């Protein structure tokens, strides 16, 4: 069934079908519509979940960890300051290898206070050990939530996962979404079978001290799990395609790249704008590389996409102050090509076709002379 719905509601719809047992959640702009719709579902009896209206995001993620440790499937969502408040606890979710799924409606961090979209909130949690998927459309957000449970709960992975949608510019946008029938979706997501859980009948210890003689090994296991996540995602993409009889998105998605000598790399809703510009301008020489999985970073897939290119432009919606665009830094480390950096769309500033054209121009004209430009 196809329906025109808001991305936040599409996410809530996917969560309803994934049937989490516990949803500890705290509202924050622009994530609120997800929380509200889930509250409706629970109140209307459409979702049998324990919805915990916690007193902060720190509590939300802490309760999510407790519930997940007890063997429940868990969902929560947040944004911006809320995600920043979760910071210290995020590492505990990943360190304990609990497959919590969390939607992020990306929003700038204060100050100055700003409620609109950029990626500085989730990018700041880059090293927290969470898988991070970035979405371009409502359909992709819906599909990615279902996909996230399959990845996170896989025994070779067991990592918490963020599904990131651009605040307002995606979270509040109404789009056509193909909603598969409930049974089909439920069959795809399946049931969560925890490897370990807190159970008095078979007691285990969770969260013991890690002495210097074992701590590094556990961190190494997390890094290996991230690497495994790349393989598992590849397999799950094929499963998704087979189950729903439609394409899934891949770790990266390329557009117009086949004959291109230049590529622009971006994450999130701006990729839609870039596709639009490429379509309108009929430029054969420029392609788009949309990065969907920021963590784990699909290095091999990216390197393969870079083959035959002369230069790359990276659009960042987050800055590592003192060393420029975050994504730019990561792409620069993967390629010997000239990589131009464009900071754009901070704090909800629209990224328009004019900005994209400017990035195209700079990339084609500047050759070896790498530029760092703020597209304002």
Partner 1 sequence: MPGKDMKLKPGAVIDEPGSSTKTKTGEWRTLKPVVDKKKCIKCGLCWLYCPDACIKIKKDGADIDYDHCKGCGICARHCPVKAIKMVREENGKSN
* Footprint on this chain of partner 1 (rule: CB under 8 A): 95-98, 158, 195-196, 202-211, 213-214, 217-218, 221, 225
- The smaller minimum CB distance to partner 1, of residues 210 and 308, is found at 210
- The smaller minimum CB distance to partner 1, of residues 78 and 154, is found at 154
- The smaller minimum CB distance to partner 1, of residues 155 and 354, is found at 155
- The smaller minimum CB distance to partner 1, of residues 211 and 321, is found at 211
CB of 155 to partner 1, least distance (A): 8
CB of 91 to partner 1, least distance (A): 12
CB of 104 to partner 1, least distance (A): 23
- The smaller minimum CB distance to partner 1, of residues 68 and 269, is found at 68
CB of 63 to partner 1, least distance (A): 18
CB of 196 to partner 1, least distance (A): 5
In angstroms, rounded to a whole number, what is the distance separating the alpha carbons of residues 363 and 361? 5
CB 157 within 8 A of CB 229: yes
Distance (Å) of CA 63 to CA 66, 75, 316: 5, 11, 33
Distance (Å) of CA 320 to CA 27, 298, 317: 27, 21, 10
- The smaller minimum CB distance to partner 1, of residues 210 and 353, is found at 210
In angstroms, rounded to a whole number, what is the distance separating the alpha carbons of residues 244 and 326? 35
- The smaller minimum CB distance to partner 1, of residues 2 and 217, is found at 217
- The smaller minimum CB distance to partner 1, of residues 206 and 337, is found at 206
CB of 178 to partner 1, least distance (A): 35
CB of 39 to partner 1, least distance (A): 31
- The smaller minimum CB distance to partner 1, of residues 196 and 244, is found at 196
Residue 164 parent element (H or E):
strand 161-166
- 63: nearest Cα among 48, 75, 79, 49: 75
CB of 213 to partner 1, least distance (A): 6
Cβ contacts of 324-328, under 8 Å, gap ≥ 24:
324/372, 325/372, 326/119, 326/123, 326/126, 327/265, 327/266, 327/267, 327/291, 327/294, 328/372
In angstroms, rounded to a whole number, what is the distance separating the alpha carbons of residues 62 and 97? 14
Peptide bond into 296 cis (omega under 30): yes
CB 141 within 8 A of CB 300: no
User: Which of helix, strand or coil describes residue 21?
Assistant: coil
Helix axes 215-244, 138-152, angle to 10 degrees: 130
CB of 160 to partner 1, least distance (A): 11
By CB atoms closer than 10 A (0-12, 13-18, 19+), residue 357 is middle
Helix axes 80-95, 57-69, angle to 10 degrees: 30
CB of 263 to partner 1, least distance (A): 37
- 144: nearest Cα among 157, 135, 154, 153: 135
- The smaller minimum CB distance to partner 1, of residues 49 and 225, is found at 225
Report the relative pairing of strands 174-178 and 2-6 from DSSP bridges.
antiparallel
- 351: nearest Cα among 251, 245, 239, 268: 268
């Amino acid at each position: 069934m196809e329906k025109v719905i808001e991305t936040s509601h599409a996410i809530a719809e996917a969560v309803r079908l994934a049937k989490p047992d516990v949803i500890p959640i705290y509202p924050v702009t622009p994530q609120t519509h997800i929380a509200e719709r889930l509250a409706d579902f629970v109140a209307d009896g459409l979702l049998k979940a324990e919805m915990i209206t916690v007193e902060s995001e720190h509590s939300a993620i802490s309760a999510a960890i407790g519930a997940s440790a007890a063997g429940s499937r868990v969902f929560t969502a947040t944004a911006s300051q809320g995600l920043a408040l979760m910071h210290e606890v995020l590492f505990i979710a990943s360190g304990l290898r609990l497959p919590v799924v969390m939607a992020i409606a990306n929003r700038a961090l204060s100050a100055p206070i700003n409620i609109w979209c950029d990626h500085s909130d989730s990018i700041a949690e880059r090293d927290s050990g969470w898988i991070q998927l970035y979405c371009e459309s409502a359909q992709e957000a819906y599909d990615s939530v279902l996909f996230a449970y399959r990845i996170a709960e896989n025994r070779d992975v067991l990592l918490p996962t963020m599904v990131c949608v651009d605040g307002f510019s995606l979270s509040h946008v109404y789009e056509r979404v193909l909603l598969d029938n409930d049974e089909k979706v439920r069959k795809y997501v399946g049931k969560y079978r925890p490897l370990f859980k807190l159970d008095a009948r078979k007691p285990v210890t969770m969260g013991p001290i890690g002495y210097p003689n074992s701590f590094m090994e556990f961190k190494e296991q997390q890094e290996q799990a991230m690497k495994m996540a790349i393989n598992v995602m590849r397999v799950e993409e094929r499963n998704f395609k087979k189950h729903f009889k439609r394409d899934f998105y891949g770790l990266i998605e390329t557009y117009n790249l086949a004959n291109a000598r230049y590529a622009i790399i971006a994450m999130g809703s701006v990729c839609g704008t870039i596709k639009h510009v490429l379509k309108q301008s009929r430029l054969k020489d420029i392609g788009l590389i949309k990065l969907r999985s920021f963590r784990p970073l699909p290095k091999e897939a990216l390197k393969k996409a870079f083959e035959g290119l002369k230069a790359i432009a990276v659009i960042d919606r987050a800055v590592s102050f003192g060393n420029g665009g975050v994504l730019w830094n990561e792409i620069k480390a993967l390629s010997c090509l000239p990589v131009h950096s464009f900071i754009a769309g901070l704090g909800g500033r629209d990224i328009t076709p004019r900005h994209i054209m400017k990035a195209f121009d700079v990339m084609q004209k500047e050759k070896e002379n790498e530029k760092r430009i703020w597209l304002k």
